[in-house]
Structure 1
Amino acid sequence: MSTVKITPSTASLAISIKQLAGIQLPRLQNTIFTSNSTKLRAPRRAFTVSMAASVDTPFEVCVKQSITTPNKLGDCPFTQRVLLTLEEKHLPYDMKFVDLSNKPDWFLKISPEGKVPLIKLDEKWVPDSDVITQALEEKFPEPPLTTPPEKASIGSKIFPKFVAFLKSKDPTDGTEQALLDELTAFNDCLKENLPATVDKVILCFQLKGPFINGNEVSAADLSLGPKLYHLEIALGHYKNWSIPDSLSYVKSYMKSIFSRESFINTRALKEGVIEGWRPKVMG
């Protein structure tokens, strides 16, 4: 559901506009596609009026269908990043669920590599979450989600270290410690206002709020949040491992991200994340 975080006074204004203008708000509908091109309509979700963007037609977004639950969003942190961007910018979207284990011909024509996410922008299908989120930022600059270049890489090495540790069969190969090093460095960034130093695993800059760029969520958070969500679920299930309590700022950061309405609206089911990682864990 596309939502906007607003104060009571702004909410009253939005309601008044809706009532006075008699606006029929657009509603989102999900379409599930399989190899035989059959379309199944999922339950509709209401779309909350946005004060930041005016888009009449929902964006078409191809997403992974859950491998555990029909008509549910699948386990792809890169897709969630795109959906989070749409949610935070209050843009309507129409999710088209694609069974990636049985990809339909029409999907392979617009996505030769057979990958999601994929969004239709200006009548063209655009792949890659980096490209998509940048295009959305340029096309809809309000509310801004840009992360300053000097902060954009904060936390960027956590995901590959997580994957390496998750797939590891050798507890002495150093993959756990490598992940802990990245998480510790990120924790330090959140805890202190430190200048960049060459001996840190990731760069640290002055921070003035709970997010990477301060008090307001930014593109870096929308990229890192889904990956930390997968980390928490997959490592907890397959290795009975959790982020140490000593990294309290990281845990607080995750709580802040995971509790956002935009995140709740776009997260994959826990069981879907577990099953999504099973082939990589089992080799």
Structure 2
Amino acid sequence: MMPPAVTLYTHTLCPYAHRASLALVEKGLSPKEFERHVDLSAKPAWFLRACPRGLVPAMSLDDGDVITESLRIITVVDDVFDRGSLTSRVGPREEILDFVKDADAYGGFISSGLSFIGGGWSIRGVQPRSSVIDGLERNVARLDSLCASSGGDFLFGSSPSIADIAIYPFAERFQLAMREFQGYELGESQGAQAFVVWLAAMAARDSAKALRPNDKELLESWRRTGRLDYFDYETADRESP
């Protein structure tokens, strides 16, 4: 069966859109095949016609449907592309889907990581309160326990699933920002060794390498703007962060 034609309206520095690209690359597609980059600081008319809400990511399939919300997109990608499963082949499908459903919950890993760095999408460059550190480390400990019991380097086994894809784009950014601005090593500072192995295993995948901007250039933009989401307000992309 031929895979469906897909267009992903994306910003190549947005972690939510990164989820969708990561899922598609894990399915064997090249970013050049599906990514249509959108300058979020000056949204073009063609994008607003295709996606009236004006938000990325949004994925258009060959049946004309436009799917929004990154967690829904990665689940649909797994369902409609035949090459390997990002759920059933690596672990209990329902458990993985439950993990994905809750990935953006308040107080979870993503929320606590953003709070640690500065709150919202800001970068404060100071040590967070002890309660904020505790919140992040509780979430990392949960992920560490999942990895340690999975029988592999990933959250639910020896291959990545949509659970890994749901959080890795944020973990990648958190690791870089916390190290640079707070001298904190994500996972290592609390001895979460299985989580540290997971971070390294995800970073080593061809999919992650293909979608990662230059760390030095990204850090320069974070430092200059004081925001993780600076790309919402000025022109930037993966090639020129």
Normalization by structure 2: what TM-score?
Answer: 0.75
Local SS of the residue matching 2:154 = coil
Q: Does the C-alpha gap of structure 1 residues 230 and 109 become closer, same or farther in structure 2, counting only changes over 3 Å?
A: same
- Matched with 2:208 is 263
CA distance in 2, matches of 1:83, 1:279: 22
- Matched with 2:10 is 63
CA distance in 2, matches of 1:145, 1:249: 20
2:28 to 81, 90, 93: 90
- Matched with 1:104 is 44
- Matched with 2:194 is 249
1:158, 1:182 within 8 Å by CA — same for their partners in 2?
yes
- Matched with 1:162 is 113
Aligned-pair CA distance for 1:58: 5.1
1:185 to 142, 167, 175: 142
Hey, which of these two has a bigger chunk of helix by percent?
Answer: 2
CA distance in 2, matches of 1:163, 1:125: 29
Task: Compare 273-282 and 149-158 and name the one that shifted more.
Answer: 273-282
Uncovered stretches (5+) of structure 2, i.e. residues with no partner: 231-241
Aligned-pair CA distance for 1:158: 0.9
Aligned-pair CA distance for 1:279: 3.0
What pairs up with 1:41-60 in 2 under 5 angstroms?
54-55=2-3, 59-60=6-7
Uncovered stretches (5+) of structure 1, i.e. residues with no partner: 1-52, 65-73, 194-206
What pairs up with 1:1-283 in 2 under 5 angstroms?
54-55=2-3, 59-64=6-11, 74-91=12-29, 93-121=33-61, 122-146=63-87, 148-151=93-96, 152-153=98-99, 156=103, 157-168=108-119, 171-172=128-129, 174-191=131-148, 193=149, 207-243=150-186, 244-245=188-189, 246-270=191-215, 271-272=217-218, 275=221, 278-279=226-227
Q: Does the C-alpha gap of structure 1 residues 280 and 132 become closer, same or farther in structure 2, counting only changes over 3 Å?
A: closer
Local SS of the residue matching 1:153 = helix
Superimposed CA distance per residue, residues 175-226 of structure 1 (whole angstroms, 9 cap, x where no aligned partner): 11110111122222322x4xxxxxxxxxxxxx21111121121110111211
The one-letter code of the counterpart of 2:2 is S
Q: Does the C-alpha gap of structure 1 residues 190 and 134 become closer, same or farther in structure 2, counting only changes over 3 Å?
A: closer
1:63, 1:117 within 8 Å by CA — same for their partners in 2?
yes
Identity fraction in percent: 21
Task: Compare 269-278 and 241-250 and name the one that shifted more.
Answer: 269-278
Normalization by structure 1: what TM-score?
Answer: 0.64
CA distance in 2, matches of 1:59, 1:160: 30
CA distance in 1, matches of 2:220, 2:51: 26
- Matched with 2:236 is none
Q: Does the C-alpha gap of structure 1 residues 95 and 189 become closer, same or farther in structure 2, counting only changes over 3 Å?
A: closer
Aligned-pair CA distance for 1:231: 0.7
Aligned-pair CA distance for 1:263: 1.0
The one-letter code of the counterpart of 2:115 is A
The one-letter code of the counterpart of 1:112 is P
The one-letter code of the counterpart of 1:177 is D
2:16, 2:70 within 8 Å by CA — same for their partners in 1?
yes
1:117, 1:128 within 8 Å by CA — same for their partners in 2?
yes
1:62, 1:116 within 8 Å by CA — same for their partners in 2?
yes
1:233, 1:274 within 8 Å by CA — same for their partners in 2?
no
- Matched with 1:38 is none
CA distance in 1, matches of 2:21, 2:210: 9
Between Structure 1 and Structure 2, how many residues are aligned? Answer: 206
Larger RCO, structures 1/2 (Cα 8 Å, 6+ apart): 2
CA distance in 1, matches of 2:165, 2:220: 21
CA distance in 2, matches of 1:165, 1:269: 23
CA distance in 2, matches of 1:118, 1:85: 13
Superimposed CA distance per residue, residues 160-179 of structure 1 (whole angstroms, 9 cap, x where no aligned partner): 10011111567336111110
Over aligned residue pairs, what C-alpha RMSD do you find?
2.7
Q: Does the C-alpha gap of structure 1 residues 273 and 112 become closer, same or farther in structure 2, counting only changes over 3 Å?
A: farther
Q: Does the C-alpha gap of structure 1 residues 273 and 109 become closer, same or farther in structure 2, counting only changes over 3 Å?
A: farther
Q: Does the C-alpha gap of structure 1 residues 129 and 98 become closer, same or farther in structure 2, counting only changes over 3 Å?
A: same
